[in-house]
Amino acid sequence: MRGHDWINTCLPDELILEILRRLDSKASHDACSLVCKRWLGLDRLSRSTLRIGASGSPDIFIKFLAQRFVNVKAVHIDERLSISLPVNTMQGKRRGRAENALTSVKLHYTDQTRPDKEDDCESFCLTDSGLTAVADGFSKLEKLSLIWCSNVTSFGIMSLGQKCIFLKSLDLQGCYVGDQGLAVVGQYCKQLEDLNLRFCESLTDSGLVELATKCGKSLKSLGVAACARITDKSLEAVGFHCKSLETLSLDSEFISDKGVLAIAQGCPLLKVLKIQCINVTDRALIVVGVSCLSLEMLALHSFQQFTDEGLRSIGKGCKKLNNLILSDCNFLGDMGLEAIATGCTELTHLEVNGCHNIGTIGLESVGKSCPRLTELALLYCQRIGNFALTEVGRGCKYLQALHLVDCSSLGDEAICSIARGCRNLKKLHIRRCYEVGSKGIIAVGENCHSLTDLSLRFCDRVWNEALIAVGQGCPLQYLNVSGCNQIGDAGIVAIARGCPELSYLDVSVLQNLGDMALAELGEGCPLLKDIILSHCHQITDIGLSHLVKNCQMLKLCHMVYCPNITSAGVATVVSSCPNIKKVLVEKWKVSPRTKRRASSVLSYLCVDL
């Protein structure tokens, strides 16, 4: 029967709930909740995750959320984010008391003028009272993130620990939490698996030692950073009690070899190790290579005391290693990287960043010995030459992503070798590699037919013919050619005609780009969502009007320092794009009428600093 509601008539609550649980986005959940009152209630039952930013009176806000979403298992509170609650001043008859109360709370904290600025600031921060509301309202809580909630103390954490006994993951980054709170969490949360203590400055060894003693058996992941009073003593306790530890992230000046040795010898299941500790030396890394045979990911940052001897131990013992990051390790050289390559043949991800003693020979060995490599990043590697990437092109047929930043010795020869040998390449990012020109990018267009993500920033030797080849051979979805001064209309027109799935485009600082390119983009790229046009001096309001005519999915547009774009062009973008979220432009180019219509999406360039 036409117009009959068969879904609500025939489907039971349990089946609709199961359907709602399978929705993969918040937008889909929100849309379903607007269908009818029944779906609104079922949607609230299906929600398992809440994300909350810095809003007016978060303590009271959380109490209302707890009343509505009773099955929530994960709560993320991040006070770095600014989220405004919708306020409907025209309260209709169908709005309930809870909605009216929530609106009045928001209005109270946004409209009332307070003489005490500190109290006003605190009203926008989660406190122990709000955390107690989390503990009381979400009894099934398994995951809690409190990011930079600086007003939360041990009292709130103690309440949480006592009531949320099913807690498995706790992130306290930037919280001023003391030892008492952490001890209570260890006492009651016996299922805790994941703990992040980054920037918890008030913690000492006492709290972490007690937690490790009481719930160390379940702990699998631990992060410690910028905790000045956590030392090797804590890591010794972790090594002794946390035998199931799989992930450890350390960033501290107060941890030395002694602590890392305790972890390596006591946690044989360790799979991920990230270290940024200036007092850790080869001695610790050697023991990691001997004891942590399950290690899969190793990240070494800013080490001045590591040498090739430590990497040789890793290569000899950690045969399962597949992800290696070496950042600013000045005493590591070719011999260390060669030991990793020959010993860890399962390597799939490699990043070398600012390690000035690693050169062509080290990377050659990777190309010869690591056939499963899928992602390679070389940043500020001046000593790595073309022949290194020639070997990678020969041996790493499964390479899908390549990142090159400020590698002055790499040029077209290297890119041609990658293009011909790594035909599965999907992502290529090159920045300030001034020897890379059109020849290398043409080879990419002719050979890498799976490439969807291309970034060529400030590559002065790349011309239009390079983009013509890419447009003819690659189904791009993301393109950044910012600062490539030789590229003009012809290159972007080729992209517009050959890449209909393009969703992101950055053409900033292209002095030769004009309205013709924008018109072609409007015709050929209807899926375009983000476009950066800043510092394009030849673009006018006419080009913008052609662009937005068919690009109805556009969400972001940057167009600062475009002298030929006027207030009329800005108004055209705002009025023609129903999904627009952000427009960055000079304030003086926005008319009063446009301000009234679209103030929420307008962002202005700061020039008065």
**Predicted local confidence at residue 89, as pLDDT:** 35
Q: What angle do CA 80, 86, 91 make, to 5 degrees?
A: 155
Indicate the domain borders of the chain.
Answer: 8-46
Q: For residue range 110-143, list pLDDT tens digits in order.
A: 333 334 444 444 456 888 988 999 999 998 999 9
Asked if residue 197 lies in contact with residue 226, where contact means CB atoms within 8 angstroms, the answer is no
Asked if residue 394 lies in contact with residue 419, where contact means CB atoms within 8 angstroms, the answer is no
> 291 vs 151, which has greater pLDDT?
291
Q: What angle do CA 583, 490, 475 make, to 5 degrees?
A: 75
Asked if residue 493 lies in contact with residue 520, where contact means CB atoms within 8 angstroms, the answer is yes
With 0-12 CB in 10 A as exposed, 13-18 as middle and 19+ as buried, what is 208? buried
> 234 vs 88, which has greater pLDDT?
234
Helix/strand/coil (H/E/C) assignment for every residue in 251-267: ECCCCEHHHHHHHHHHC
Angle between helices 282-291 and 257-266 (to 10 degrees): 0
Question: Cβ contacts of residue 238 below 8 Å, gap of 6+?
Answer: 208, 212, 216, 219, 222, 245, 262, 263, 266, 267
3-state secondary structure of 290: helix
Greatest mean pLDDT range, 13-17, 66-70, 80-84, 201-205: 201-205
**Predicted local confidence at residue 82, as pLDDT:** 56
Q: What is d(CA 556, CA 548) in angstroms, rounded to the nearest whole number?
A: 12
With 0-12 CB in 10 A as exposed, 13-18 as middle and 19+ as buried, what is 65? buried
Q: What is d(CA 609, CA 603) in angstroms, rounded to the nearest whole number?
A: 16
Q: What is d(CA 278, CA 605) in angstroms, rounded to the nearest whole number?
A: 40
**Predicted local confidence at residue 124, as pLDDT:** 64
Q: For residue range 484-513, list pLDDT tens digits in order.
A: 999 999 999 999 999 999 999 999 999 999
3-state secondary structure of 406: coil
Residue burial 348-362, b: 16+ Cβ < 10 Å; e: rest: bbbbbbbbebbbbbb
The residue written with tokens 């810095």 in the block is 54
Beta-carbon count within 10 A of 8 CB: 12
Q: What is d(CA 231, CA 248) in angstroms, rounded to the nearest whole number?
A: 15
Using CA atoms, how far residue 32 sits from 8, 144, 280, in Å, is 13, 26, 54
DSSP 279: B
Phi then psi for residue 457, to 5 deg, are -100, 125
Q: What is d(CA 147, CA 131) in angstroms, rounded to the nearest whole number?
A: 13
Asked if residue 318 lies in contact with residue 292, where contact means CB atoms within 8 angstroms, the answer is yes
Using CA atoms, how far residue 104 sits from 107, 115, 524, in Å, is 5, 21, 48
3-state secondary structure of 498: helix
CATH topology of domain 8-46: Monooxygenase (1.20.1280)
Minimal CA–CA distance to 465: which of 443, 438, 492, 489?
A: 438
**Predicted local confidence at residue 41, as pLDDT:** 86
**Predicted local confidence at residue 99, as pLDDT:** 42
Q: For residue range 465-488, list pLDDT tens digits in order.
A: 999 999 999 999 999 999 999 999
Q: What is d(CA 62, CA 13) in angstroms, rounded to the nearest whole number?
A: 26
Residue 585, beta-bridge partner list = 604
Kindly report the average pLDDT of the chain as a whole number. Answer: 89
3-state secondary structure of 411: strand
**Predicted local confidence at residue 55, as pLDDT:** 58
Residue 536 has pLDDT above 70, yes or no: yes
Using CA atoms, how far residue 124 sits from 154, 175, 247, 578, 600, in Å, is 19, 15, 34, 31, 21
Q: For residue range 443-466, list pLDDT tens digits in order.
A: 999 999 999 999 999 999 999 999
Q: For residue range 363-411, list pLDDT tens digits in order.
A: 999 999 999 999 999 999 999 999 999 999 999 999 999 999 999 999 9
Residue burial 280-318, b: 16+ Cβ < 10 Å; e: rest: bbbebbbbbbebbeebbbbbbbebebbbbbbbbbbbbbb
3-state secondary structure of 248: strand
3-state secondary structure of 228: coil
**Predicted local confidence at residue 56, as pLDDT:** 61
**Predicted local confidence at residue 2, as pLDDT:** 60
**With bands split at pLDDT 50, 70 and 90, how would you rate the model's confidence at 53?**
confident
Phi then psi for residue 288, to 5 deg, are -60, -45
